[in-house]
Amino acid sequence: MGRAPSSVRSRRPSSSTRRCARSCFSSSNCASLRPFIPRIVSRIMRMLILVLLASGILAAQKQYKRVHQYALRRIINGNAKRVEKDLRAHAAEHPADPETWFMLACAASAAGRKAEGTAYLERAHDLGLPAGRFLAGPRKLLALYDDTTLIRRLHTEFRHRPVHGPLVGAVSIADARIWLRTSGERNVAAVCTTAASATPITAKGRTSARDDFTSVLHLRGLRPSTTYSGRLVIDGQTVSGDEGAFRFTTPPPRGPHDPVRLGFGGGAGYVPQHERMWSTIQGGRFDLLLLLGDNIYIDHPKRPIVQRYTYHRRQSRPEWRALTRAIPTFTIWDDHDFGTNDCWVGPDLDQPAWKVPVFNVFRQNWANPGYGDVPPRPGLPFALTLPTKTRPGCWYTFAWGAIDFFMLDGRMYREKPNEESTTSMLGPRQKAWLFNALAASTATFKVICSPVPFEYRTKGNSKDTWNGFRAERTEVFDFLTKRKIEGVVLLSADRHRSDAWVIARPGDYALHEFNSSRLTNQHVHQTKKDAIFSYNAKQSFGSVTLDPRPGNPTVVYDVIDIDGVRQHRLVLPGSKLKR
């Protein structure tokens, strides 16, 4: 082998160099350096943090849903000037992205740069950022601009208009709930009628700062199988146009009625070019929509300002507002809405300290029929200190004709996953509720909705699914067998694709699981060969038709992509859901 070039050849240090090194590291010189060691370590740590921040920026840029969340977190951590510089660079590459200019205004506000921030806000508005965004918040950061021409004008325009909503939720044969947000504290009402009767049904309430200016209006005295059209009223004025209108049809009473059609999914991080998914779902004209977790992607359980900002982005989209004012929406959460990726936080209500506050923010932004042991709004205030025996969460049940739905909370009381018999995902209170509700159900179909898959093979060796709670899953399945409960269908989310699975049960009928969780996400998970089918080419959702009519009850599961094209279909005759 030839010799290396002299410029890189290893050389023995000269005698003078060796003497210098011995002198530098002598005990006396080390002692003289000690006062400077903390400063040296501090600089090294600062450089490491900058490297990590830079890598975080690069990672965030690959996932649009993270870019501005990450920027907001850094702003409230005191890095507004650096964020403004980084976002200016991002805006140079994406000049037509209004969200970047909006976040630049937040950074400028934190840095006390009102003139620049006002220009950023106006730029975001000119690029089409929905007007309600400027009023929803982050309110503390945007307060600097309250006396600007743009914000004063928007406050005037939205004095009697909703900032977000209306969203229809918790529809039953006798009642429904309507959610909305206003620009300030307002007296609000929902008024609805039917085509057959002009006699109005009215629900009243008030939005408050404590609840992030939201309210849920409870319409009572409804009739089954009836279509209601309604409008919002804000401080005595009826809201005109689409933004004040809502519409829903109540389910039929228990019995063998017409098929029920539902859309379901999860994995809905905010990606502007994929928000058209909500229009695709609306075009399906479903009876109801089930969102089974990772509905908005927060991942900041200690930062309510980031949580609310993430909700505001989705709630401002016109596609979302058009969908949810026309189709009843029922939700549960998963790790990215509740805590962080694959999180478990244990069975205690007060540990970690952010658990109840995160629950309160969740409850402020939906209109579900129940929240574990806590009644739906209106009810206990959000600033509450919950009684020690109370177990809040996002689990509940509801009926739609001959179908019962059992919505599970897989995060609030989840213990550390393993294969030991004592490990629980649900917690004792929720599990007792589930068993009692299943035993009492007389529905033709019982749909159990989980934020994570029941099938072990969906996520390899990960313990984040029911794979980490095998004994408890066995307990649930054994309960179905012991009580001879038939007609069970499993729905789940979490995996960024759409699958169909069959779970064999010796001595009983196999359970079929429909899994879908890539509504709007950019990120995708690989398909699984062991599934009946597995799809990930585009964003997609699950469409399920449950036909309970006697003689030939059936379940049909379709995978529909973001363009409205059916990619897969599975037809299950009712005979396959019996012992």
Give the 3-state secondary structure of 20-62: HHHHHCCHHHHHHHHHHHHHHHHHHHHHHHHHHHHHHHHHHHH
Residue 522, pLDDT above cutoff 90:
yes
Residue 47 clears pLDDT 60, i.e. is over it: no
One-letter amino acid for residue 152 of the chain: R
**528-553 pLDDT, tens digit each:** 999 999 999 999 999 999 999 988 89
Q: Which of 262, 265, 342 is nearest to 296 (CA)?
A: 265
d(CA 240, CA 186): 17
- What is the spatial distance between Cα 8 and Cα 135, in angstroms, rounded to a whole number? 63
pLDDT for position 6: 33
The C-alpha R_g of the chain, in whole angstroms, comes to 27
| CA 122 to chain centroid | 29
170 contact partners, CB below 8 Å, separation of at least 6: 176, 177, 328, 330, 367, 368, 369, 376, 398
Per-residue confidence at 38, pLDDT binned at 50, 70, 90? low
**Residue 21 — pLDDT band, cuts 50, 70, 90?**
very low
Question: Does position 162 have pLDDT exceeding 70, yes or no?
Answer: yes
Query: In the structure encoding, which two tokens stand for residue 178, read together?
Result: 């309507």
pLDDT of residue 45: 53
The model's pLDDT over 49-105, given as tens digits with 9 standing for 90+, comes to 444 444 444 444 568 999 999 999 999 999 999 999 999 999 999 999 999 999 999
pLDDT grade for 10, boundaries at 50, 70 and 90: very low
What the block records as the tokens of 222 is 């409804």
Mean pLDDT for the stretch of residues 467-481? 96
> Are 173 and 253 a contacting pair, CB within 8 Å?
yes
Q: Give the pLDDT confidence score for residue 31 in this predicted structure.
A: 53
Q: What percent of the chain has pLDDT over 90?
A: 83
The CATH classification number of 260-577 equals 3.60.21.70
Residue 384 has a pLDDT of 42
What mean pLDDT do residues 196-219 have?
96
Q: Which two tokens stand for residue 501?
A: 């699975």
For the segment 402-414, what is each residue's pLDDT rounded down to a tens digit? 999 999 999 999 9
Predicted TM-score of the model (pTM): 0.89
Rounded mean pLDDT of 108-115?
96
Neighbours of 246 (CB within 10 A): 24
Residue 126 CA to residue 49 CA, distance in Å, equals 36
Average pLDDT over residues 99-124: 97
Q: Specify the amino acid at residue 357.
A: P
Taking the alpha carbons at both ends of the chain, their separation in whole angstroms is 77
Assign domain 164-246 to its CATH architecture: Sandwich (2.60)
- Taking only the tens place, the pLDDT of each residue in 548-571 is 998 889 999 999 999 999 999 999
The 3-state secondary structure of 331-358 reads: ECCCHHHHCCCCCCCCCCCCCCCCHHHH
- Residues 6 or more apart whose Cβ sits within 8 Å of residue 522: 62, 63, 64, 65, 269, 271, 274
Q: What pLDDT was estimated at residue 34?
A: 57
Residue 377 structure tokens: 């709004």
| Phi-psi label, residue 5: left if phi above 0, alpha if psi -120 to 50, beta otherwise | beta
Q: Which residues pair with 491 in a beta bridge?
A: 449, 514
Residue 371 DSSP code: B
CA atoms 286, 411, 490, 295: torsion sign: positive
Task: Compute the average pLDDT of residues 415-429.
Answer: 88
Q: Can you give the residue ranges of every domain in the chain?
A: 40-157, 164-246, 260-577
What does the alpha-carbon distance between residue 203 and residue 181 come to, in Å, rounded to a whole number?
15
519 vs 17 pLDDT, higher one: 519
Going 389 to 390 to 394 to 398, the CA torsion angle's sign is positive
pLDDT greater than 70 at residue 165 = yes
Q: Is the torsion defined by CA of 226, 280, 536, 58 positive or negative?
A: negative
Mean per-residue pLDDT of the chain: 90
- The CA distance from 364 to 378, in Å, is 10
Q: Would you place residue 256 in the very low, low, confident or very high pLDDT band (cuts 50, 70, 90)?
A: confident
pLDDT for res 40: 59
Q: Kind and range of the H or E element at 324?
A: helix 318-324
Segment 513-539 shows an average pLDDT of 97
- Tokens in use for 359? 């629950």
Q: How confident is the model at residue 257 (pLDDT cuts 50, 70, 90)?
A: confident
| Preceding peptide of 162 cis, ω within 30° | no
The pLDDT tens digits of the residues spanning 435-446 come to: 999 999 999 999
Tokens coding 362: 């969740």
Q: What is the pLDDT of residue 42?
A: 58
Helix (H) or strand (E) holding 447: strand 445-450
Report the distance separating Cα 231 and Cα 245, nearest Å.
5
Task: Pick the more confident residue, 487 or 256.
Answer: 487
